[in-house]
Amino acid sequence: MAKLITIRHLRQLGMGMLVAVLMLAGALPSQAAVEHAPPTADHSKFRSLEGPFETASDVTEACVKCHTEAAGQIKATTHWTWLYKHAETGQTLGKNQVINSFCGMAITNEPRCTSCHVGYGWEDMRQPPPEADSAVDCLVCHDTTGEYWKFPTLAGDPTYIPREWPKGSGKIVQPPDLPNIAQNVGASGRANCGSCHFYGGGGDGVKHGDLDSSLVTPDRSLDVHMSPDGGNFSCSDCHTTWGHSVSGSRYQVNAKDTLGIDVPGHTDLSRASCESCHGGAPHHKEKLNDHIDKLACQTCHVPAFARGGVATKMWWDWSTAGKLDEEGKPITEYDEHGHLSYLSEKGDFRYGENVLPYYAWFNGTVEYTMIDEVLDVENPPLEINRIEGGPDDPDSRIWPFKLMRGKQPFDTERKTLLATHVFGADDSSLWSNYDWPKALQAASDMSGMPFSGNFDFIETRMYWPITHMVPPASQALRCGSCHAGESRLAGIGGIYIPGHSANPWLDRIGWLVVALTLAGVIIHGLLRVVFRKRKQS
Amino acid sequence: MSRVLVYKRFERFWHWLQALLIFSLLITGFDIHGSYSLLRFGDATQLHTIAAWSLIVLWLFAIFWHITTGEWRQYVPTRKGLFAVMYYYLIGTFTGAEHPYRKTTKAKHNPLQRLAYLFFKLVISPIIWVSGLLYLFYNDWPATLTGALNLETVALVHTAAAFAMLVFIIAHVYMATMGHTLTSLIKPMVTGYEDLDEPASKS
């Protein structure tokens, strides 16, 4: 009986505590979701948007009748030119110029790659994008219905007839209802930016690691800013725009924002850094603020990436592409987690979820290995991009990165990287005939870069700064994640981390002296006991 | 022989609180250093900092007390009888010899003790104190200091001093058992009173 009562009491106590905890949780100040002002125009009331529209380009023509400067603004941005002149390194970067460790270069794979161009009909990247204002794609950024989708193989256009995608899947993509979409345009949301930026590298989450479709409606624990239960931010709440030019660059990162909170009239109004809103000393605990000079916010506040259930590609070995099964058909293999591990078109992959970042000093400047750069092929892995910075550089901080690794083709005679013509309904693309020499030669013809005809594969690395997927502060790294023998920052160099760094000689000598003292004391004590006994006897 | 007050109330309070704080600092300090992992790093640093500030306050009071009472004279070093005491600890204690030093309230530490405590007070403690404060306020160093010092050096000095402190404590605790009986030297540190060859003090 006594036992029963005890258990019941315990249960009541437990329930009571649970209720108390829930009440406490309810009483905690919840984050207010960001409110966006109501629009001043209801686009469904515009007669010019009633349609019918033959193509999406016709919608743009209607848009620019009122928004007279919009197309010109877009055409001045990196989103349009795919060119970026780097102020620090002098390199001309941008999708038009760089090679990466995913599908190589955009220029050899249009119209697949140009399907993400913020325009229509850029079918030949050797030429600049089409010049007409109506070639600008307004809808990809301003559609609020979710019905607008740039078809992957149409150089930026949606499909205007029912089409199968992915090829061979039996799934049919229907043409979009353009008048409905045009009448429901609005401010860009997460899904708009995500329709391209979440799918870089050829699939959901493949490229960045901290950008994938899980961020369309993320849980608070995945992204406290973008979660509808958190700040419900759109991308542009931080990536503020100025005449359609979006702030925040991966080529020239603001690795240490010393401007602090951006106040109108005082600073540049770009909010694409944590400090823009949180300032330079955001922690209540002073000692945490003491870390800000050396650590990027993201280093502690993005404990892992690819946390939303979408895996990201960590390894891509092109050298094994092209194997076919006994019937001469392409092979598809999956790993134990159900992620792709081999495709005849693309070679071997390793995907990762909840990946711990790679950490490095970074001052924000990224230099690229350009396609015509002569490589040090004797010392792989080769760095496709190089992140600048170091412990003695006051503009540098320790940043988290996704370290993308893999193998990709290079010219053994000219010692340069090689672009691959992977996509194309022609006879020369890798994905149509699995013939490397043909695909590389075709890419050379398309890009204008010479190819000796001799090639091999070299291991490469590429660094992708991690900055999204910030969970609530309670999920940030603990002190011991770095201040421990097994530290996340092991090998970072140039910084003394208490609890991790130590002079081994001081420890050896120190503990030796302590041990000798202890031994001396014990021997002395034992001798005292022995001599006392002798005296007594 | 008579019972006299050797260690005054504040002196005992200072000694035992200092002992507690130094043990806490050693335990948390070597945890922070990474020698073992008893506590979480954040908790260890927090405890270490609280104990350090407490010890600094205690020291300020102790310094004031030593100066105002003139008790600092107890630590003035002397060579007179030093070798006799050393000989006693090395040989005499085993052969049954008497301790050569006669303790009085005016000179309650033998010459070896004076040296050891003086070293503790003038070398180990100040080094730990200064290096610890530099460590704690590393982010607020003035520019002149930043050019001349780095955190690694400060941590190295602080840790070296901590090893010296640990060695001191091992020897100190052991030697506290070397009176007539195991506890005869420790008891007065608790009660304050000891039987000495001098007239009973009036406290």
Element spanning A416, H or E: strand A416-417
Bridge partners (DSSP) of residue A305 are A355
**Which residue does chain B place closest to A487, by CA atoms?**
B34
Task: Please list every residue in chain B whose beta carbon sits closer than 8 Å to the beta carbon of residue A535.
Answer: 96
Burial (CB < 10 A; 0-12, 13-18, 19+), residue B169, is middle
Domain encompassing residue B67: 2-196
Select from A213, A172, A224 the least CA-distant residue to A191: A213
A501 touches chain B (CB under 8 A): yes
Instruction: Report the b/e string of A107-116 with b at 16+ CB within 10 A.
Output: bbbbbbbbbb
> DSSP string of A99-133?
--SSS--STTSTTTGGGGSSBS----TTSPPP-SG
**Which residue does chain B place closest to A527, by CA atoms?**
B94
User: In 10 A of CB A352, how many CB atoms?
Assistant: 19
How far apart are the C-alpha atoms of A503 and A518, rounded to whole Å?
Answer: 23
Q: Is the Cβ pair B42, A480 closer than 8 Å? A: yes
Answer yes or no: are the C-beta atoms of A142 and A185 closer than 8 Å.
yes
pLDDT per residue as tens digits for the range B71-93 = 999 999 988 889 999 999 998 88
User: In 10 A of CB A60, how many CB atoms?
Assistant: 26
Q: What does the DSSP 8-state code read for residue A33?
A: P
Burial (CB < 10 A; 0-12, 13-18, 19+), residue A158, is buried
User: In 10 A of CB A12, how many CB atoms?
Assistant: 10
CB-nearest partner of B160 from A500, A506, A535: A506
Cα–Cα distances (Å) from A203 to A8, A152, A196, A233, A340, in that order, read 54, 11, 10, 24, 11
| Strand A416-417, strand A397-411: pairing | antiparallel
How far apart are the C-alpha atoms of A288 and B45, rounded to whole Å?
Answer: 12
Sign of CA pseudo-dihedral A299, A300, A303, A308: negative
Residue B202: inside a domain: no
Average pLDDT score over residue span B21-26: 98
Select from B142, B165, B164, B163 the least CA-distant residue to A502: B163
CB-nearest partner of A496 from B95, B151, B170: B151
Answer yes or no: are the C-beta atoms of B56 and A506 closer than 8 Å.
no
- Using an 8 Å CB-CB cutoff, list residues of chain B that contact chain A: 32-35, 37, 40-42, 45, 93-96, 138-139, 150-152, 155-156, 159-160, 163, 166-167, 170-171, 174, 177-178
Residue B201: inside a domain: no
Q: Is the Cβ pair B174, A524 closer than 8 Å? A: yes
Q: Is the Cβ pair A507, B42 closer than 8 Å? A: no
Looking at residue A5, its pLDDT comes to: 47
Any idea what the CATH number is for the domain that residue B155 is in? Answer: 1.20.950.20
> DSSP string of B101-154?
----SSS-S-HHHHHHHHHIIIIIHHHHHHHHHHHHTGGG--HHHHHH--HHHH
Average pLDDT score over residue span B94-101: 86
How far apart are the C-alpha atoms of A94 and B203, rounded to whole Å?
Answer: 87
Element spanning A314, H or E: strand A312-317
**Which residue does chain A place closest to B89, by CA atoms?**
A524
Residues 6+ apart with CB under 8 A from A217: A227, A228
First-to-last C-alpha distance (Å) of chain B: 17
**Which residue does chain A place closest to B30, by CA atoms?**
A499
Select from A112, A78, A82 the least CA-distant residue to A96: A82
Burial (CB < 10 A; 0-12, 13-18, 19+), residue A160, is middle
E strand map for chain B: 2-5, 193-196
Instruction: Report the b/e string of B9-43 with b at 16+ CB within 10 A.
Output: eebbebeeebeebbebbbbbbbbbbbbeeebebee
Task: Please list every residue in chain A whose beta carbon sits closer than 8 Å to the beta carbon of residue B138.
Answer: 290
Select from A485, A328, A302, A523 the least CA-distant residue to A398: A302
Q: Is the Cβ pair A514, B95 closer than 8 Å? A: no
Average pLDDT score over residue span B50-72: 96
Instruction: Show the tokens assigned to A292.
Output: 């800000």
Length of chain B: 203
How far apart are the C-alpha atoms of A171 and A158, rounded to whole Å?
Answer: 16
pTM value is 0.89
Residues 6+ apart with CB under 8 A from A93: A83, A84, A85, A86, A251, A368
Q: Is the Cβ pair A502, B33 closer than 8 Å? A: yes
Instruction: Show the tokens assigned to B147.
Output: 């050019």
- Write down the residue that tokens 């007050």 correspond to: B5
Looking at residue A26, its pLDDT comes to: 44
Residue B203: inside a domain: no
Q: Is the Cβ pair A531, B96 closer than 8 Å? A: yes
Please tell me whether the peptide bond between B188 and the residue prior to it is cis, using omega within 30 degrees of 0. Answer: no
Q: Is the Cβ pair B171, A521 closer than 8 Å? A: yes
Q: Is the Cβ pair A501, B32 closer than 8 Å? A: no
Residue B166: inside a domain: yes
Residues 6+ apart with CB under 8 A from B105: B4, B5, B6, B196, B198, B201
Task: Please list every residue in chain A whose beta carbon sits closer than 8 Å to the beta carbon of residue B178.
Answer: 528
- Write down the residue that tokens 């927090």 correspond to: B46
How far apart are the C-alpha atoms of A299 and A305, rounded to whole Å?
Answer: 11
CB-nearest partner of A500 from B34, B151, B174: B34
Task: Give Cα A390 distance to the centre of its chain.
Answer: 22
The number of distinct structural domains making up chain B is 1
Answer yes or no: are the C-beta atoms of A421 and A428 closer than 8 Å.
yes
pLDDT per residue as tens digits for the range A61-88 = 999 999 999 999 999 999 999 999 999 9
Would you give per-residue pLDDT tens digits along chain A (537 residues)? 344 444 455 555 555 555 555 444 444 445 677 778 889 999 999 999 998 999 999 999 999 999 999 999 999 999 999 999 999 999 999 999 999 999 889 988 878 889 999 999 999 888 999 999 999 999 999 999 999 999 999 999 999 999 999 888 999 999 999 999 999 999 999 999 999 999 999 899 999 999 999 999 999 999 999 999 999 999 999 999 999 999 998 899 999 998 889 888 887 778 999 999 999 999 999 999 999 999 999 999 999 999 999 999 999 999 999 999 999 999 999 999 999 999 999 999 999 999 999 999 999 999 999 999 999 999 999 999 999 999 999 999 999 999 999 999 999 999 999 999 998 888 889 998 899 999 999 999 988 889 999 999 999 999 999 999 999 999 999 999 999 999 999 999 899 999 999 999 999 999 999 999 999 999 999 999 998 888 777
Residues 6+ apart with CB under 8 A from B50: none
Instruction: Show the tokens assigned to A116.
Output: 């993400």
Specify the 3-state DSSP secondary structure of B85: helix
> DSSP string of A176-216?
P-HHHHHHTB-S--HHHHHHHHTSTTTSTTSS-SS-SGGGS
Min Cα distance A244 → chain B (Å) is 40
Length of chain A: 537
Using alpha carbons only, give the angle A131, A135, A136 rounded to the nearest 5 degrees. Answer: 105
Looking at residue A132, its pLDDT comes to: 95
A483 touches chain B (CB under 8 A): yes
Min Cα distance A400 → chain B (Å) is 22
For the packed helices B151-175 and A504-536, what is the interaxial angle rounded to 10 degrees?
Answer: 0
Looking at residue B200, its pLDDT comes to: 59
pLDDT at residue B123 greater than cutoff 60 = yes
Q: Is the Cβ pair A498, B160 closer than 8 Å? A: no
**Which residue does chain B place closest to A494, by CA atoms?**
B152
Specify the 3-state DSSP secondary structure of A480: helix
Q: Is the Cβ pair B159, A513 closer than 8 Å? A: no
Looking at residue A28, its pLDDT comes to: 47
How far apart are the C-alpha atoms of A338 and A345, rounded to whole Å?
Answer: 18
> DSSP string of A428-459?
SSHHHH--HHHHHHHHHHHH-----S-EEEEE
